[in-house]
Structure 1
Amino acid sequence: MAQSSTEPKVSLRLIIDEKKNKVVLAEAGKDFVQVLFSFLTLPMGTIVRLLGKHQVSEPVTVGCISNLYTSVVDMKIDDFETEACKQMLLYPRNYVREAQCRKFKLNINPTENFKCFGCSSFPSCSMCSNFNTSRCRCGKLMTREIDLLEDEEVIVGIMQNDLRGVFIRDRSSFIITDDLKLTVDSTSSLLQTLKALGFSDVSKLRERVLDIGLKEVLTLLRCVFSSSSPLTDTFLKNQSLHKVRKIYKRLSPCLEKNGDEAEQDKVITFDAIVRKQDMRILYVECREDFVDLLLTFLAIPLESIWEVSGNHISLGCVGNLSRSFKDLSDNERTQVSNPKFVLPYYYSCQNQLLNIITFKPQFYVTINRDISRPLCCVTTKPTFIQVSFIDPKYNGHHSVSTEGSGGFMKRDSKFTVSDDLVIAPKNTTSTFWALKKLQIHTNDIEVQKVSISKAHALNLLRASVVTSSALSSAFGNLIVKKPKEENVSWNPVSKKLKVET
């Protein structure tokens, strides 16, 4: 990726063991630390997109999330409820975090500001959408862009969230170890870090000051997922491991149900095609509700996935970075015991097993009476017309068009999902072809009906970022191992029944 001479750069000072060609630690200011912490705010779909764009020649693998993203790319618009459904999954948004990152010296994911669209009858039709491909309740396309007043205030109002503590603002200098543990820079912390790493003789270490641009930052992002020494691999060895370490162990549920929550828990049911030899799930046949659940993973930020996973997964140096983020900020974090995912309103689905909390915009219309430029504007300050946001998943046929009215995929559709989360519409996937591709004898497979609830959905989310066999890892304990069939025959010599298994 070519770099422009005007491209913004951030400074990084490396302390290097030249004999081992290894970064011992780094000293960095706020600009570089903000870049590191911005990794955590990126939706998983955005991470896959950025890494794929960064190095096209080499396949990018982040667990099974890469397969989910590629499945969305490969599926046709007709497979989705609306055109906006595919767009929101390919380009997931995290509005408040994006607003903050625009102020950074180096922004890894530049995005457009929050936008609103209405139909040609706006404000008579007091409906808005964030997508200009949405259809209003009156049936017209919502292609008219509506001006926003107090843009920063609008964003804060949508999120209903305090921005304090999201990123480090006041401290100016930090110490960063090769495995991305951060502490505030001081003589005491530097001595403790060097001693812990076994480098008491600083005369053997050398300094190197680098100016870091977008190319290096994206390489570092790749290494964060796959390396135990991302600073060394990025800045000294000039390499990035392209695969996350694979695990195949079955994950146990990470939630304990209690009270009314357990009684009211929703379930999703599908058919699992299982290999008898090891009871691994080869693929599942499901309806759109299970696919909607999977595709929601693309919109969830990395920080949220780590919060609900705790120590249950191993994911490069993401854990160290997340713990440092928590320690260095005063922002209250969501507790693992009751995980919630805060997403824009249009990611809510009708049968959603995850605890999705959606933004609920409170917008109003004000009329600019300036004769030279009469405008309808949206503001957070109450006026005489309140604006409602239509769900961009609304296709004009369903009776309900408010947030959470449906899912991403066409209703009453069927899909196949492989163990590594490759999704294909059932109408384009022949059952015979799928069985033939597996190269397995029909007597060696069986079909089991599986029902999953909230705890299993969280297991699947965790497995999807660390393994290439997400279904078997997450749902292995739901597969029933049936006893072997016995063949009973009469032995005329011994005059006894012969039992064969």
Structure 2
Amino acid sequence: MSMVSGEGDNWWHSMADKSMDNIELKVLVNNVSNKVIFVESDDDFIDVLFSFLTVPMGTVIRLSHRSQPLGIGCMDNIYGSVESFDSQLFRTEECRAMLLRPRNMTEYLLDNLKLKFDDCEPTRYFTCSNPHCRIFRNSLVFSYYQTVRCPRCERLMDTETILPVSGAEDGEVFVKGPARFIISDDLQVMPPFTSTSSSLVKNLGFTGWNSIEELTVNVGVDEVLKLLMCSLVSKMPLTETLLKHEPLPELSNENFDQEIYVESRMLGDATNEEEEKISIKLIVSKSRKMVCYAEAGEEFVNLLFSFLTLPLGFIVKQMHENSMKGCIDQLYKSVQDLDEQCLKSNNHKKMLVSPKLLPGFGYKNHPLGIEEASYRLAVDTTLMHSNKQVKSVEFIDPKSHRNKDDNALGFLKGPAMFMITDSLNVSPISAILGLSILCELNVPVTDIEVQVAQVGKKEALRLLVASFVCDSALTSVFLRKPNRGFGCLSFLI
């Protein structure tokens, strides 16, 4: 047996306090093609893989910046726009942090992962220093930030406490252990049956037992991070992570910019004529049939910025199988197909295939319709001041805590107008900037026309997928027409 280590891989810098953590894998390799046939592991590694689906997009972007940025469609530009925005444009000072370091709804479970790859500090919970304020409307009242005001007495909620959430007491995460699984190079997770393993060997071109080698591999945080990134850009992330040490390709692709049309696979007529739509103006090059930039209010930019809070599992759920460059969709499908007896519960399965937002990270009338989760409390009488009956947890919305009459319509103050480039760089509106964009694109003012587009749920979902896979999201969503001779992405509504 051979030992494969990540010591020569300079793509990821180790977390010093986790340098000794690792998981041992058995890896079957075709030494002729230098490719992984499959990996055999226990439930610890499968929990790490499945946790990829719970990671918010903003976290993926932040972690990717630890080495070379991946170029995840337009998502890097959205993230960069949030970083560069003047703080006065946000509704509260907490809004930027919510987007750049979004919280994971399953964080209380992920604390049990053997390898914790997210370097974000654990979520902290604060309550009012006045014990009489800790229970409000039969709910325990918490905040994620100590700069938030108490809804009753207006004091800062700066007393740190522990949220007594139930569900993680047994030390397990998603998979019911102990258990063994095999993982194909494209991240299909399966039971270790002989029929499955022999099929994987044959599919990779079996030429004799001399071409097959078994390796023992210790993977740590560095390898897990690289595997997460490779799952977005490669069809063989295990080979890329364990056997090769080459720069990662970008998720976006030139062909997408030129030809892609993001198609909605509607189940009947799913359009709701009564839904509120967002109106935007598209500045279009007539000759080149592309969007130069858009002019839109804060409602549209709130939608774009909210993409950073979405778990990967939610994004993958919208996409048709095999419609992306990577293979994280195969990981998603594995969870869907896995026998329920292998998972802790059906609720844990839903956390992966239909993930929700942490309370407070959504907003009213969100075009995507993603739901916020709710917490189930474990009994902790230390948080109670009286014999009041506590039924739930209430989080003070960091986006609107300074105005209790505000309905948390997003992350940005309004009314406000912004300019959005085709690759989703966002800036406050400026006539000079508009002319500068046209000059950079070499589009004469005589070649432009203004088109008005309406954005509802269908368009929002198409925009989400386009921003994940291509560099010209606005053109792909609003101008491209279906052409079966070229690339076409599908997703479900």
TM-score by length of 1: 0.81
Following superposition, the deviation at residue 388 of structure 1 comes to 4.2
Contact 1:292 1:349 in 2 (8 A): no
1:14-49 residue CA offsets vs partner (Å, 9 max, x unmatched): 222222222222222222222211111111111111
Contact 1:134 1:394 in 2 (8 A): no
Is 2:323 the counterpart of 1:316? no
- Alignment match of 2:191 (pick from 184, 195, 198): 184
Name the residue aligned to 1:266.
276
Structure 1 distance, partners of 2:376, 2:362, is 17
* 1:432 counterpart SS class: helix
Structure 2 distance, partners of 1:456, 1:427, is 26
Is 2:156 the counterpart of 1:142? yes
Name the residue aligned to 1:91.
101
Structure 2 distance, partners of 1:208, 1:386, is 50
Structure 1 distance, partners of 2:375, 2:189, is 36
Is 2:312 the counterpart of 1:284? no
Give matches, 1:101-116, under 5 Å: 101-109=110-118, 112-116=121-125
* 2:317 counterpart SS class: helix
1:189-226 residue CA offsets vs partner (Å, 9 max, x unmatched): 22222123331622321122111111111112221111
Instruction: Find the structure with the greater CA-based Rg.
Output: 1
* 2:37 counterpart SS class: strand
Give matches, 1:115-194, under 5 Å: 115-121=124-130, 123-124=132-133, 126=136, 128-137=142-151, 140=154, 142-148=156-162, 151-153=164-166, 167-170=174-177, 172-194=179-201
Is 2:405 the counterpart of 1:400? yes
Following superposition, the deviation at residue 320 of structure 1 comes to 1.4
Following superposition, the deviation at residue 79 of structure 1 comes to 1.4
Following superposition, the deviation at residue 310 of structure 1 comes to 2.7
Name the residue aligned to 2:261.
250
1:211-266 residue CA offsets vs partner (Å, 9 max, x unmatched): 1111111112221111122122222121241411422412223344758x713212
* 1:26 counterpart SS class: strand
Using a 3 Å threshold, how does the CA distance of structure 1 residues 360 and 185 change in structure 2: closer, same or farther? closer
Give matches, 1:52-71, under 5 Å: 52-53=65-66, 55=67, 58-71=68-81
1:144-165 residue CA offsets vs partner (Å, 9 max, x unmatched): 224236x232x78xxxxxx999
* 1:451 counterpart SS class: strand
TM-score by length of 2: 0.82
Q: Using CA pairs below 8 Å that are at least 6 residues apart, which structure has the higher relative contact order?
A: 2
Residue type at the aligned position of 2:396: I
Using a 3 Å threshold, how does the CA distance of structure 1 residues 231 and 387 change in structure 2: closer, same or farther? closer
1:372-431 residue CA offsets vs partner (Å, 9 max, x unmatched): xxxx5599x9637987432211152x4525xx5221011111111111111112269733
* 1:117 counterpart SS class: strand
- Alignment match of 1:455 (pick from 458, 462, 466): 458
Aligned length: 453
Give matches, 1:347-366, under 5 Å: 347-360=361-374
Contact 2:363 2:410 in 1 (8 A): yes
Using a 3 Å threshold, how does the CA distance of structure 1 residues 190 and 388 change in structure 2: closer, same or farther? closer
* 2:60 counterpart SS class: helix
* 1:7 counterpart SS class: coil
- Alignment match of 1:26 (pick from 20, 39, 54): 39
Structure 2 distance, partners of 1:441, 1:390, is 49
1:423-458 residue CA offsets vs partner (Å, 9 max, x unmatched): 112269733333333332111111111111111111
Following superposition, the deviation at residue 138 of structure 1 comes to 6.0
Name the residue aligned to 1:302.
312
- Alignment match of 1:12 (pick from 16, 25, 50): 25
Contact 2:252 2:469 in 1 (8 A): yes
Following superposition, the deviation at residue 110 of structure 1 comes to 5.2
Structure 1 distance, partners of 2:75, 2:228, is 15
* 1:206 counterpart SS class: strand
Structure 1 distance, partners of 2:234, 2:391, is 53
Name the residue aligned to 2:219.
212
Structure 2 distance, partners of 1:164, 1:453, is 42
* 1:408 counterpart SS class: coil
Following superposition, the deviation at residue 468 of structure 1 comes to 0.9
Structure 2 distance, partners of 1:257, 1:345, is 32
Structure 2 distance, partners of 1:363, 1:195, is 50
* 2:132 counterpart SS class: coil
Give identity over the alignment, percent.
Answer: 31
Structure 2 distance, partners of 1:312, 1:178, is 15
Structure 1 distance, partners of 2:354, 2:112, is 27
Name the residue aligned to 2:479.
476
Name the residue aligned to 2:88.
78
Following superposition, the deviation at residue 6 of structure 1 comes to 4.7
Contact 2:23 2:219 in 1 (8 A): yes
Give matches, 1:312-351, under 5 Å: 313-330=323-340, 331=346, 342-351=356-365
- Alignment match of 2:447 (pick from 444, 447, 450): 444
Contact 2:109 2:172 in 1 (8 A): no
Residue type at the aligned position of 2:332: S
Name the residue aligned to 2:50.
37
Is 2:235 the counterpart of 1:228? yes
**Where in structure 1 are there 5+ consecutive unaligned residues?**
157-162, 369-375, 480-501
